[in-house]
Amino acid sequence: ERVRDVASALYESGCHEVSLGDTIGVGTPVATRRLIECVAARIPVEHLAGHFHDTYGMAIANVFAALQCGVSVFDASVAGLGGCPYAPGASGNVATEDLAYLLAGLGIETGIDLDALLDCAVWISAQLGRQPASHTTLARRRSRPGV
């Protein structure tokens, strides 16, 4: 209810989009749905956005739950890059590649070239000397050795 009240105050003061964030990545689809339903009682759902970190592997499931509630704007990060400065060990946002794959699978047109996006994720990960945190990128790499 506190999140609902703060979000409502933001919206009523002219904020066009209120992003509901799970910045430490501990959310679940059930909690995501409950939060959105609570906030959407005061703010039109088309003015809500989602920001889900993937610490416990729930980010894409939380996106799906939010989509089912009518949310259509999400933050994402290529290769799942990022973290949370006040939560050591927290991972980055949902990987853009995983989000694009989910949306394509649901028949939602994004205009994103998934192959080009996957190439970007592999490239930036190599530059940073780390593995991509995207399930889609890792699956594609396994199916295309040498990529």
Known catalytic residues?
Answer: 84
Rounded to whole angstroms, how far apart are CA atoms 9 and 20?
14
Q: b/e per residue, 26-64, with b = 16+ CB within 10 A?
A: ebebeebbebbeebbeebeeebbbbbbbbbeebbbbbbb
Asked if 46 and 72 touch (Cβ cutoff 8 Å), the reply is yes
